[in-house]
Structure 1
Amino acid sequence: MDIPSFRLGLALDGVGWHPAAWRLSSVTDPAELFGSRYWAGWGRASAAGGVAFVTLEDGLTAQTEQFGSVPANAESRVRGRLDPVVAAAVLLSASDVGEVVVTRNVTHTSPFPVATQLASLAALGPGRVTWRPQVSANASDAVVVGGAPTPELRPDDIYVPTRIARRLRDLFRDAEAFVGTVRDLWTTFPADALGSGDAFWRPSRVETLSGPAAGPLNVPVFAVPPVATLAHHALEPYRLAAAVADRVFLTPTRDHPLDVLIRAFREVEALTPDATTTEVYADLAVVLGDSDEHARERLDRLDGVAGSPWTTDTGIFTGSPAKLAELLNRWRDEHGIAGARLRPAVLPEDAERVIHDVVPRLA
């Protein structure tokens, strides 16, 4: 079998994905996380280290470990983030990062501004921007924007696929329509509508749509961003990915290994009307160390500071960079995945190990 090149990505968020990351990170000034130097630095480091893409998170409310809950020691944890469109603009303009995957909420926003934002970023970095539409399952998000209440996804629900499907079916249907509308809007103002010579623009090339998002966009579309989705092991996220995504991030765990997830996703994809083949990527949280034992010690310390073991919506790899590279190479060879997105537990420590010790070991 002809194995394609493997693309590794870093999921950037705050100072890392572990709840206690702030307490143990070498970053000590909160203002750094909202400044351009921090994000531009990660763009340059990723590009220089052979990282294929970075992803940026979105959120309407402050980060929490569980839906709707705020821990007692919230002041010791990162709360709030720079808008991902702003961070992406910094990354694209101040670094040679190969690709930025920009997360944008689709439950409590409108297609027109999202289409405009992504088209603007794509003009800044043609071929370097990907959109990740995000469904909001946090009922408190609606309170922030004054939107319609959404079905409440309780903490235990994320471990039961049938509950996700039952509670969020309508949200995922709306998300599919949202992505379709954005893509339609991207056709309303093609770049060749801009004229040349005596004609500043060609009105005949600008179109309108029927429906609430009539368009046309107020910016020209120089490049159409591909779409990536994060799909947990449940029917509705898989169906959305099959229907609209060019790339899907699957979340393997001990109970749901990667081969099972790929098989389940391909079955859903085969039953989805008008679906095209979607590239599959693995999505994994990582705690790395100089050795497997050192990595476990780091995780134990992080969990001790946080006051509870780290639980996430995907698997947590704890070990050496060599072992992580071995796992990724095996997944690539055995399952043919196109790449992986890694969520560093702590920035910069775990991301630096990925760049310097994992990337060079990937076949």
Structure 2
Amino acid sequence: MTDDRSFRVGVALEGAGWHPAAWSHTSTTNPADLFTADHWVRLARTAASGGIDFVTLEDGLGLRADGFGTAADDTGRRVRGRLDSVVLATLLLATSDIPEVVVSRNVTHSNPFHVARQLASLAAVGPGRVGWRPQVSADARDATVVGGPATPALSPEDVYVPTRIARRLRDLFRDAEEYVHTVRRLWATYPAEGLGQDGGFWRPERVRPLTSRGEPRYAATGPLPVPVGDPPPVAVLAHHALEPYRLAAAVADRVFLTPTPEHPMTELLTALRQIEDLTPQATPTLRYADIAVVLGDTDGQAQDRLTRLDGTVGTPWSTDTLAFVGTAGRLADELTRWRDELGLSGVRLRPAVLPDDADRIIRNLVPLLRPPAGTTAHPRPGGR
């Protein structure tokens, strides 16, 4: 694979890592470190210096659980809390050279005016370096925590049956579509050219509230108090269900696709194209793979790491996407194939353990995807 910066590599930062047992296997030993600026700044700076194009930050309203219907009051050996994603993004933008921070923000239990203002403020702090992932909350516990509107109580069976989850979550995702449209319209109420020139602070004729659109679900009017010169791109995480794909087709600039052995990437891309064809005013969307990773110097070492992680929990790791277990070389081959044969624009990698797997991504994977200018990466021999 020749050097091609158009294939973007992102790392999803989340707690001590994405595996439920990550805390018991991370090199971080003090729980309080996960709530300090130094910890997150170090991750972002390492990612930036290692050629990572973007990091993503998760959002959440209550204590995290391992899955739908799982209580958070276990033995205390798993990470349950997290910092606010907007506050954390502000920190990383101001203290690191990471090219982009993609901020997840709950759209089921929040107000679009507030989110539009928060993201506009981030875009002012880091022009061209902010992305937004609208996050639909399908967990009934979130509604309980914040006193918001009730959401469906989902079971694991619901989550893994596409027709069932689509039926239960249809209204939530359609609300999310209107929410994103509302945020974008609010961003347009105070364009960058609304700022003054020739000694004036602002140009009132360029700053306008929203015009009426009948009886919308979100009746924000604006205008925003923050000028928006470079609206953040919208990234949608599309799980294996019709409604997330519809949301991606309707509003996304980027879509994170979650392949599995049962649903390979080719199948997901075909489904997305079909839904885009059926979606009025579908937006042009860049396709990204979104996979979890457990890396090792050999495939056997990576498998041993996963076995130890699963042994700590007592059950095999169950994720909403492919969990790649193996060497950086084999992962580079797969990502190269997806890029060359399927036209993917990039990948978001979820490290099983932080910073361990993130360090392997930076040290072992990125150089294979981006060899020195003027050289070509050749296939690696079997065994890697």
TM-score (norm: length of structure 1): 0.97
Residue identity opposite 1:216 in structure 2: P
Residue 148 (structure 2) aligns with: 147
Equivalent residue for 2:246? 239
**Contact in 1 for aligned 2:69/2:154 (Cα 8 Å):** no
Cα distance in 1 for partners of 2:197, 2:87 equals 31
Question: Which residue, out of 362, 369, 372, partners 1:362?
Answer: 369
Taking structure 1 as reference, are residues 118 and 162 closer, same or farther at Cα in structure 2, changes over 3 Å only?
same
Distance, in Å, in 2 between the alignment partners of 1:288 and 1:241 is 30
Task: Give the deviation of 1:46 after TM superposition.
Answer: 1.0
Q: Which of 324, 343, 346 is the equivalent residue of 1:339?
A: 346
Q: Helix, strand or coil: the match of 1:76? A: coil
In the alignment, which residue of structure 2 is the partner of 1:97?
Answer: 98
Match of 1:228 in 2: 235
**Residue 40 (structure 1) shift:** 1.2
1:261 and 2:263 matched: no
Checking the alignment, whether the CA contact within 8 Å between 2:64 and 2:72 is kept in structure 1 is: no
Amino acid at match of 2:293: V
- The DSSP-based 3-state class of the residue aligned with 1:182 is helix
Moved more, 199-208 or 251-260: 199-208
- Displacement, 1:334? 1.3
Counterpart-to-counterpart distance in 2, 1:193 and 1:257: 47
Residue 300 of structure 2 contacts residue 326 of structure 2 at CA under 8 Å; is this kept in 1?
yes
2:360 corresponds to 1:353:
yes
| Greater alpha carbon shift after TM alignment, 339-348 vs 145-154 | 145-154
Residue 74 and residue 102 in structure 1: after superposition, are their counterparts in 2 closer, same or farther (change >3 A)?
Answer: farther
Tell me what 2:201 maps to: 200
Match of 1:132 in 2: 133
Q: Deviations over 1:250-282 (max 9, x none)?
A: 000000000000011111011100012211100
Q: Which residue of 2 aligns with 1:215?
A: 222
RMSD of equivalent CA atoms: 1.4
Matching of residues 34-183 of structure 1 within 5 Å:
34-70=35-71, 73-183=74-184
| Greater Cα offset, 197-206 or 287-296 | 197-206
Q: Distance in 2 between matches of 1:93 and 1:86?
A: 11
Q: Which of 291, 295, 308 does residue 298 from structure 2 map onto?
A: 291
The 3-state SS of whatever aligns with 1:220 is coil
Alpha-carbon contact 1:287-1:299 (below 8 Å) kept: yes
Contact 1:185 1:209 in 2 (8 A): yes
Identity of aligned residues (%): 62
SS in 1 for 2:76: helix
Aligned equivalents of 1:276 and 1:64: distance in 2? Answer: 34
- Which is worse superposed, 3-12 or 212-221? 3-12
- Cα distance in 2 for partners of 1:8, 1:33 equals 24
Instruction: Provide the rounded CA distance (Å) in 1 between the counterparts of 2:310 and 2:209.
Output: 53
| Greater mean deviation of Cα atoms: 213-222 or 77-86 | 213-222
Q: Judge conservation of contact 2:26–2:356 (CA < 8 Å) in 1.
A: yes
Give structure 2 stretches of 5+ with no counterpart. Answer: 213-218, 371-384
Q: 2:43·2:355 contact (CA, 8 Å) conserved in 1?
A: no
Aligned match for 1:321, one of 324, 328, 340: 328
2:289 counterpart residue number:
282
In structure 2, the partner of 1:250 is 257
CA deviation profile, 1:46-69 (whole Å, cap 9, x unmatched): 111111110000011111111131
Distance in 2 of aligned mates of 1:191 and 1:30:
42
Q: Distance in 2 between matches of 1:218 and 1:307?
A: 51
Task: Name the SS of the counterpart of 1:281 in structure 2.
Answer: strand
Q: Which moved more, 1:66-75 or 1:319-328?
A: 66-75
CA distance in 2, matches of 1:146, 1:4: 45
1:73-119 deviation line (CA, Å, top 9, x unaligned): 34111011010101111111101101111000000001001000000
Could you list the per-position Cα deviations for residues 162-194 of structure 1 after superposition, in whole angstroms to 9, with x for gaps in the alignment?
Answer: 011100000000000000000000011112222
Alpha-carbon contact 1:228-1:245 (below 8 Å) kept: yes
1:70, CA displacement in angstroms?
2.1
Structure 1 distance, partners of 2:74, 2:181, is: 42
Q: How far apart are residue 37 of structure 1 and its match?
A: 1.1
Partner of 1:20: 21
CA separation in 2, counterparts of 1:206 and 1:184?
A: 12
Counterpart Cα distance in 1 of 2:18 and 2:8? 21
Work out whether residues 152 and 167 of structure 1, in 8 Å CA contact, stay in contact via their aligned partners in 2: no
Task: Give the deviation of 1:220 after TM superposition.
Answer: 1.6
Q: CA deviation at 1:153?
A: 2.1
Q: Could you tell me whether the CA contact under 8 Å between 2:63 and 2:72 is conserved in 1? A: no
Task: Give the number of equivalent residue pairs.
Answer: 362
Gaps of 5+ in 1: none
